[in-house]
Amino acid sequence: MYLASDLRKGLKFEIDGEPYAIIEFEFKKPGKGQSLYKCKLKNMITGSKFERTYRSGDKFQEADLEEQEMEYLYSDKDSYCFMNTSNYEQHFLTKDQLGDSANLLKDNILCTILLYNGLPIDITLPNFINLKVVTSEPWAKGDTATGSTKPAILETGFEVQVPPFIEEGQMVKIDTRTREYVERVNE
């Protein structure tokens, strides 16, 4: 059990049988009375957000959350198959659960899957991923304006801005948190 004094940004707990994460947190101590904990919560299954204020005596149930390393295998219409690397059990996530992460998924990549009561609800990609450039306009000599970039489409279908010297067929490192080009990778 969590007490109201344990509340902080990023804490995950259960309300009415569903897991919630605190995405914003504010502590208030009025001159008289109990301390107040104003929280903005996000439902980890549906993604809905709302605000709620708790008092210092409130208690919360800890959510049954577990993180496991899984390997991405394949996608089938709107579902994505991941395999637990320790027991070979397969789990499926929907396109809605993956969100923007679906654009960066490459076969056999290791991800961290968040499970709630044994069911997958969220994914964390590795911080960096190497992807091949499939389509990119050729670089015109003399195009050396500072900070110039051009669009490139990667093997997963994701479009990213890259420096002009990046050509089709080259591998690039992408930061999955910012979804930006980091560097060219030698194969």
Separation of alpha carbons 5 and 58, rounded Å: 9
Amino acid 63: pLDDT: 87
CATH class name, domain 128-185: mainly beta
Amino acid 112: pLDDT: 92
- In order along the chain (187 residues), what is the average pLDDT of each group of 10 residues? 87 89 89 87 86 89 90 89 91 84 90 89 91 85 67 91 89 92 87
CATH label, 65-124, candidates 3.40.190.10, 1.20.1050.10, 2.40.50.140, 3.40.50.20: 2.40.50.140
CATH fold of 2-62 reads SH3 type barrels. (2.30.30)
Dihedral over Cα of 59, 64, 66, 70: its sign:
negative
Domain ranges of the chain: 2-62, 65-124, 128-185
The encoded tokens of residue 67 equal 């993180």
Long-range contacts of range 17-24, CB-CB < 8 Å, 24 or more positions apart? 18/43, 18/44, 18/45, 18/46, 19/43, 19/44, 19/45, 19/63, 19/65, 19/116, 19/121, 20/44, 20/63, 23/49
DSSP string across 146-177: TT--EEEEETTS-EEEE-TT--TT-EEEEETT
Amino acid 142: pLDDT: 60
